[in-house]
Amino acid sequence: MIDRTHEARRTSWVASAQGHADFPLQNLPLGVFSTPRDRRPRPGVAIGDEVLDLSALALSGLLDTALADAAPLLTADTLNPLLAQPASVRLALRHALFDLLADDAPHRARVAEMLSAASHVTLHLPARIGDYTDFYAGIHHALNVGRQFRPDQPLLPNYKWVPIGYHGRASSIVVSGTPVVRPNGQRRAPGQDTAAPDAGPSRRLDYELELGIWMGPGSSLGTPVPIAQAEAHIAGLCLLNDWSARDLQAWEYQPLGPFLAKNFATSISPWIVTTEALAPFRMRQPARPEGDPAPLPYLWDADDQAHGAFDLELDVYLSTPAMRARGAAAHRLARGHASHLYWTVAQLLAHHTVNGCNLQAGDLLGTGTISTPTPEGLGSLLELSEGGRRPVDLGEGETRTFLEDGDEVIMRARARRDGFASIGLGEVRGIVQPAPSLHVPLS
C-alpha cells in the first residue's frame, strides 16, 4: 500500500527538490548533520540540495501533536532512538514533513529558517552502529569470485541453503567523503604459494558495491524473528562500499574468514532512505533457477517473495587523479541492479536471528557485493579485471587492475517507476590515500 506521500505530481516549495536526482519531496531520507554555526550533530532530512534541521523542527512546535512523543528522539545526536521506534513513528514523521515541505504548506517562512545548504553541512554517521554484519547474497559475485579461487567448485554446497554472512568491524565504518588509507598487511604475490609473506601496503586494493540495511526496532536475545515479521525490523537502506584488500584476503581468510582485508574501512552513504520511501520500488524476488533447492521453512514467506526485492539501479564510478587533472568526469565502471541478490532482506534477517542472535536499532547489515550475470554490472575490480589479469580501460590511455593512491570510488543508486517520482540513495564516495610506513615508529 502506497501512502499519499508518494504522489508524483506533488512538489515542494524547496526549489531544488523538483526533479532532484536523489531527494525530491517523495524521499525525505534521515541523517545526522552539523553546520559551521552549530557543530552539534543532530538529525536532519534531505530535501533537494538542502538539509532540514529536525531538532529545530522538534523544538518549534510545528510538528503534529501526534508526534509530540517523538520530539525528544529528534534532538538526539544519533538516530538510534528514532530507529528503535516502530515504522508507524517514521511514517507519522514522513507525513508531517511532507505536509510542511509540499507546495501548499503553511509556515513556509519558519521552516525555511531551518534549512541549510547541503554543500555547507557536515554529514555524520546517522547512527551508532552496534554491530555490522556483511552478507554474501550477490550470487553472481559469489560465482565470479569462486571461479577465481575454486575453478572446480565456484559455488560452495551451502550457498543456496544458507544466507552466508559474517561479522564485520563497526568501528571503522566511515561516512561518505572520509579518505580511506591503504592498508598494510601480510602479502604473498599470486603464484608465490610457497614463498614467505612480507608485510607492506596492499597491492590489490578493491571496492565492493553493496547495499546497507539499517535496523529499526531490535529483537531479543534467544528469540528468532519469524520471516513474516522481519520487515518490521528494517528501517531503510544506504549504499555501502566494502573496501577489500585482495592480497591480504587471499592469505588470511582460511579458516575463519576475512579480517584485516576488510576491517580497515567500510564507507556508507550518509542518508537512511526509509522503507516507507522505498515502498513503491519493491518488486518480486526473481525466481530461483530451475533445480535450486527451495528455501527451508524459516526462510520462506510468500509475501516476501512477492515484494521482497528492491528495484534499484546501482552505479559505480572511478575518478583518477589524471581524470581530475584534465577536468574529466568520473568514469562509470558498472551499472548493476539490486535484484541480483539471491536472498531478500527479510530472509537475511530471519536467518541472522534463527539462532537467537539479537539485533539492535542502528545495527547495519551489508548485502554482499551485487554483480550482474553479464559484464556490464560487475561490483568489484576483482571481477572487472578478472583477478588482475585483464586491465580495465578507463579511456585516455588509463587502465586499472586494482585501485591506485588518489583514486576516488563513487557509488550511486536510483529507483524509478512510472507514476512515481524517482528517488535515489545519494552517493558514497571515498578517495584512497597512501599507506603509512611500517618501518618507523608510528603514533
Cα–Cα distance for residue pair 133/60, rounded to 1 Å: 38
Cβ at position 406, least distance to a second copy in Å: 16
Cβ at position 228, least distance to a second copy in Å: 7
3 state DSSP class of 358: coil
Degrees (nearest 5) of the Cα angle 115, 118, 122?
105
Which alpha helices (H) appear in 22-65, and where do they start and end?
54-60
Pairing relation of β-strands 132-135 and 364-366?
parallel
In the bound state with a second copy, the residue whose beta carbon lies nearer, of 45 and 215, is 215
Cβ at position 235, least distance to a second copy in Å: 16
Cα–Cα distance for residue pair 344/391, rounded to 1 Å: 33
Choose, from 6, 141, 340, 351, the residue flagged as catalytic. 141
DSSP sequence for 374-441: SGGG--SHHHHTTTTTSPEEEETTEEESS--TT-EEEEEEEE--TTB--EEEEEEEEEEEPPPPSSS-
In the bound state with a second copy, the residue whose beta carbon lies nearer, of 256 and 329, is 256
Burial class (CB in 10 A: 0-12, 13-18, 19+), 326: exposed
Indicate the length of the chain as a whole number.
443
Cβ at position 429, least distance to a second copy in Å: 17
Cβ at position 112, least distance to a second copy in Å: 37
Cα–Cα distance for residue pair 39/36, rounded to 1 Å: 6
In the bound state with a second copy, the residue whose beta carbon lies nearer, of 23 and 132, is 132
Cell of 437: 610506513
In the bound state with a second copy, the residue whose beta carbon lies nearer, of 8 and 228, is 228
In the bound state with a second copy, the residue whose beta carbon lies nearer, of 107 and 161, is 161
In the bound state with a second copy, the residue whose beta carbon lies nearer, of 117 and 156, is 156
Nearest to 364 by CA among 202, 183, 167: 167
Cβ at position 231, least distance to a second copy in Å: 14
- Identify the helix (H) or strand (E) that includes residue 21: none
Cα–Cα distance for residue pair 315/313, rounded to 1 Å: 7
In the bound state with a second copy, the residue whose beta carbon lies nearer, of 311 and 405, is 405
- Residue 233 appears among annotated catalytic residues: no
Cβ at position 232, least distance to a second copy in Å: 10
Cα–Cα distance for residue pair 70/67, rounded to 1 Å: 5
DSSP sequence for 62-131: -S-GGGGGGGGGGGSSSSHHHHTS-HHHHHHHHHHHHHHHBTT-S-HHHHHTTEEEGGGSEEE-SS--S-
Residues with a known catalytic role: 141
